[in-house]
Amino acid sequence: MDDVVNKCQADMEKRLKGFETDLTRVRTGRASISVLDGVKVEYYGTPTPLNQVGTLSTPDARTIVISPFEKNLIQEIEKSIMKADLGLQPTNDGVVIRIPIPQLTEERRKDIVKQLKKMAEDAKVSIRHIRRDSNDAIKKAEKNKELTEDDSKQLQQDVQKHTDAYIKKVDDRLAVKEKEVMKV
């Protein structure tokens, strides 16, 4: 039955990694190419990740520059960034696309923090679902006489320890990102 606890921990770790990935996509007022991770460009009829059709760089804290591998992709890349609804306004000079990252207003920062808290709560709910599923598997094994009552209680305590640890990790990541967003 230790495999239930191990699977529980592995699933919680996956959920934490997903939450961390979601956090990297949130704009903080500094140029970061990770905000463009979800952008797909139509390339010969196939949706292709932006970083596979051009070179992305951040020459300064307020600008992202995209140098397409093929010049005919400039309009398509611009269109894809606009469609992604990231609140960014790309401009091109025929050779590269520049995306200025606007300074965040206090109101926008607070909206972003609200969005972050919702993402964190979703991650915690997901972790609690994993706990519930693990505990159900343990209780079922106990009911089927595969486990003693003491072993069942011990495994459920282990699952709860993992749950508490991963919820704390989510809270810690949220606090760091929140501080980053609110920093002027």
Going along the chain from its start, the domains and CATH numbers come out as 1-26+105-182 (1.10.132.20), 33-100 (3.30.1360.40)
List pLDDT tens digits, range 91-139: 888 889 999 887 778 888 888 899 999 999 999 999 999 999 999 999 9
Cα(79)–Cα(66) distance, rounded to whole angstroms?
13
Whole-number Cα distances in Å, 97 to 40, 77, 78, 120, 129: 15, 8, 8, 33, 43
Between CA 40 and CA 137 the distance in angstroms is 40
Question: For position 184, what pLDDT does the model report?
Answer: 60
Angle ∠(159,161,164) on CA atoms, nearest 5 = 110
Is the entire prediction scored with pTM above 0.85? Answer: no
pLDDT surpasses 80 at 31? no
